[in-house]
Structure 1
């Protein structure tokens, strides 16, 4: 019989900083409607692809749940096949947890709730869109606007005079972006969290400039205009970036970052301690994450072995997308002594056990024995099909292709004629396909397709099932055409795999945007009622000491 964990036992681990991973094995749509605070989302059909990075230690307690769909029972053997040794199902599922703890909507909730707590305690300054627009309309005003989102989000839509400067880069780049202490710095994102955390980061660091957030971000800007506020429309396609800083700017930023990190209590470690952490992880005693918080372009140019790219601003904004084990340990890396310190200062306040590797120390060569990340090995008997063979079969109309990509990726580009399935409901969806043609599964890189061949075979015993080796990426690499758009999309079921965020992209529903802002304002009260967060906002008392 499958082991179970009670909601009370789970909450006990959270409040006592004991390691545990709570995994919601539904799709992101249902997850975004209701989930416990520290749950991470890994749909049952994506376990082999997504779980190892989120939960990199085999002995960590892994608790899975659904809302009565039966996915949790299917997830347990798949997780155990990866080598995890302590897997259980949450007693009563989501409904059982709701009887003892708070249920949250949306995604990246811990970070968003923490951002609201920071504003409530620190009084983070913000100004409404109309007031910000009046300042920006004066071309002589000494103002810089720093967009703290990812560059891709900034490029999609941004306010006038804004330049891209993701949150983890703010202190690192601000002294060249605003060289005069008389310059007012306006920080914003699409909603609230990155605006508040970014603004408070610069205030915590003690830069001499006046710093304010655009209240409610681009959502606030859009809603104000819809109310007849007369604001200029958001701009699209902008490419302005705050450039990498000068050596003098880095030196100044490091001085401010060091002072604040010491005040918060950020520990700086050297080679020996890193090796000790790795040895403990390898001994299956404590989970360790190694995270490079620099800009992704710097990471791509070169990075330390075993370190994942986790840009600092996004890591604070969406910690659950990199760290799936609450109570675990993380080591952050940069090359400047600024970004890792500032990122760590927030993660510590968020309740994580986090360390910064000294940027002046040489990283040790990591022994192979320290690498414990679980990996997927395909079951015997699975078989793949090459792109050229699939193309020939499609030409002869002797094959049905089913795509397990997330629905936005499917809409953007798919193998002509491919159907889209809801991953966790693969068996149900495949049963609706008539005929007995060869069935070929595909996914962006083929990993998820390969991992689900066995389930597909069980669903349609009369069919031969294979997967496309290399997935849709291999099809594209062979210069074969893709379909795109919604007009000729083929849905085996309604796509509920992705939550439509009301703060990303353009054309968002007004009611959804208003509801999102109202929800964020209520998070502090919900946190207080829940009582498991272990957040602590550090006040700046340095000048009083």
Structure 2
């Protein structure tokens, strides 16, 4: 049986820099409405798929909470069934935490709050959209770099912008702006990545004047300015001379911050300690480089996105992190930010002998119900099964098995009880894992034959079958937070509200007192 932990005790873990993972087991929508600073979103229906990479050590302390929905006992049971040995429930849930600590809205809050703190401490220079537009229209010696992921840049960008995700900026800027007289403008969708990108170049000592587009494409759009769509321009790979300059700059700044460079032998020691100290190992290069090969055991986490959304890769606050790249530039710059965010982070020496296959820590036990699997061929033969899709609602909208209903994972049982009929039910999800993991709970509450589609909707597609986009909602789709800084159809009021929210994060951090951030000057 899971134990209980108070909110004050939980906060002491953060203040004392001890390892702990705080899991919000509601859907992402409610999580984005309100959660503690270091909470990580792991919806109860997705525990078996999402938790293992976020919390790789089975003995790491885990705390789960909800807001009175009744998920926590079931979540603790499912987490323990995976082999995790230290699972606790937050006493009183979110409401009790609210009485002793700040709660935040949106997602990736630690990174965004840190970005605001950086701007406040370092006075990161920026210009409003109208001034940037005038510069772009009237000056030739300007380089505009978009610090988001390429996919976001491709969706929409400002004129003359070229893609250069934030972790690549110091690595690639010298050839893009060879004259020190060239003005460099860094933009993102909102604020964080343009602030961090601009400050990265300033920290690295590039000779150019560097400015952030204030409030990113949101600010651009709110001013009524037009964006480009479908652009594909990227900053190129750096020349040897540019790479050498970038390394000197990154190494000097990393030393100033206190980044430690480790050998293969030190990495091996960390790996041997991974059963008692949580370890994450990340390759921070461009994903295209990662796909061509990486040291064993390193997970792709592009540097700019890792800083922007560290909670999407790292679930255990207080854990140890080792970064790798093959030139030493991007890992040093990424580590310099993570260290200031309070992480225990190291860089594997780029000249180190690449480690072999690492020792494998004990892995979570994911047991799928074998007697519940139905193949694509079996489903097509039977023809009597009602299909319910547990994919996130955007994936469901994009395409699903013809006739399938969207079903909320956390509220699956409640909503299945409302389905008329007595015939068999087939659960599916993108790869089938989430569907399989929820069969047992559904069977306990619904007296109908329940199966899952082996291989999920992906297997359906791979068998040559088509998907449809007509929607059928068994559940209200509140599983995903619609980010007001992504896409092209956001309401202006939501965009302005988001900017206003970001601007007050520094005050929230000060009132909360648990962040552990320290911005180096």
TM-score normalised over the length of structure 2 = 0.99
Q: Give 2:136's aligned residue.
A: 136
Residue pair 1:48, 1:451 contacting (<8 A) in 2 also: yes
Q: Give 2:341's aligned residue.
A: 350
C-alpha distance in structure 2 between counterparts of 1:265 and 1:393, whole Å: 63
- Tell me if 1:525 matches 2:515: no
Q: Give 1:180's aligned residue.
A: 179
Q: Give 1:228's aligned residue.
A: none
Q: Give 1:40's aligned residue.
A: 40
Residue 536 of structure 1, aligned match among 509, 514, 518: 518
Q: Give 1:260's aligned residue.
A: 253
Q: Cα RMSD (Å) of the superposition?
A: 1.0
C-alpha distance in structure 2 between counterparts of 1:44 and 1:429, whole Å: 15
Deviations along 1:204-241, one digit per CA (max 9) or x if unpaired, are 0000111000000000001111xxxxx3x111111111
Q: Give 1:474's aligned residue.
A: 459
C-alpha distance in structure 2 between counterparts of 1:475 and 1:59, whole Å: 37
- Tell me if 1:457 matches 2:450: no
Which residues of 2 match residues 378-527 of structure 1 at below 5 A?
378-379=368-369, 382-394=371-383, 398-461=384-447, 463-484=448-469, 488-527=470-509
Q: Give 2:28's aligned residue.
A: 28
Q: Give 1:372's aligned residue.
A: 362
Which residues of 2 match residues 157-176 of structure 1 at below 5 A?
157-176=156-175
Residue pair 1:414, 1:482 contacting (<8 A) in 2 also: yes
SS of the equivalent of 1:187 reads: strand
C-alpha distance in structure 1 between counterparts of 2:455 and 2:176, whole Å: 43
Which residues of 2 match residues 140-219 of structure 1 at below 5 A?
140-219=139-218
Which residues of 2 match residues 300-315 of structure 1 at below 5 A?
300-315=291-306
SS of the equivalent of 1:524 reads: helix
SS of the equivalent of 2:395 reads: helix
- Measured after TM superposition, the shift of residue 392 of structure 1 is 2.4
- Measured after TM superposition, the shift of residue 459 of structure 1 is 2.4
Q: Give 1:360's aligned residue.
A: 351
C-alpha distance in structure 2 between counterparts of 1:391 and 1:172, whole Å: 52
Q: Give 2:228's aligned residue.
A: 235
- Measured after TM superposition, the shift of residue 436 of structure 1 is 1.7
SS of the equivalent of 2:371 reads: coil
C-alpha distance in structure 2 between counterparts of 1:144 and 1:393, whole Å: 60
C-alpha distance in structure 2 between counterparts of 1:54 and 1:237, whole Å: 33
- Measured after TM superposition, the shift of residue 390 of structure 1 is 1.2
SS of the equivalent of 1:467 reads: strand
- Measured after TM superposition, the shift of residue 141 of structure 1 is 2.1
Comparing 359-368 with 422-431, which one deviates more in the overlay? Answer: 359-368
Residue pair 1:194, 1:313 contacting (<8 A) in 2 also: yes
Q: Give 1:277's aligned residue.
A: 270
- Count of residue pairs brought into register by the alignment: 521
C-alpha distance in structure 2 between counterparts of 1:195 and 1:279, whole Å: 38
Residue pair 2:257, 2:520 contacting (<8 A) in 1 also: yes
- Measured after TM superposition, the shift of residue 464 of structure 1 is 1.2
SS of the equivalent of 1:58 reads: coil
Deviations along 1:37-94, one digit per CA (max 9) or x if unpaired, are 0000000010000000000001111000000001111101100011000001001100
- Measured after TM superposition, the shift of residue 2 of structure 1 is 3.1
Which residues of 2 match residues 22-101 of structure 1 at below 5 A?
22-101=22-101
- Measured after TM superposition, the shift of residue 367 of structure 1 is 4.0
C-alpha distance in structure 2 between counterparts of 1:336 and 1:522, whole Å: 38
Q: Give 1:543's aligned residue.
A: none
Deviations along 1:405-438, one digit per CA (max 9) or x if unpaired, are 0000000010000011111001011111111222
Q: 1:188 to 1:494 in 2, by over 3 A?
A: same
C-alpha distance in structure 1 between counterparts of 2:15 and 2:324, whole Å: 28
SS of the equivalent of 2:223 reads: helix
C-alpha distance in structure 1 between counterparts of 2:245 and 2:429, whole Å: 47
Residue pair 1:40, 1:320 contacting (<8 A) in 2 also: yes
C-alpha distance in structure 1 between counterparts of 2:118 and 2:409, whole Å: 38
C-alpha distance in structure 1 between counterparts of 2:111 and 2:282, whole Å: 17
SS of the equivalent of 1:170 reads: helix
Deviations along 1:136-169, one digit per CA (max 9) or x if unpaired, are 112x420010000000100111000000000000
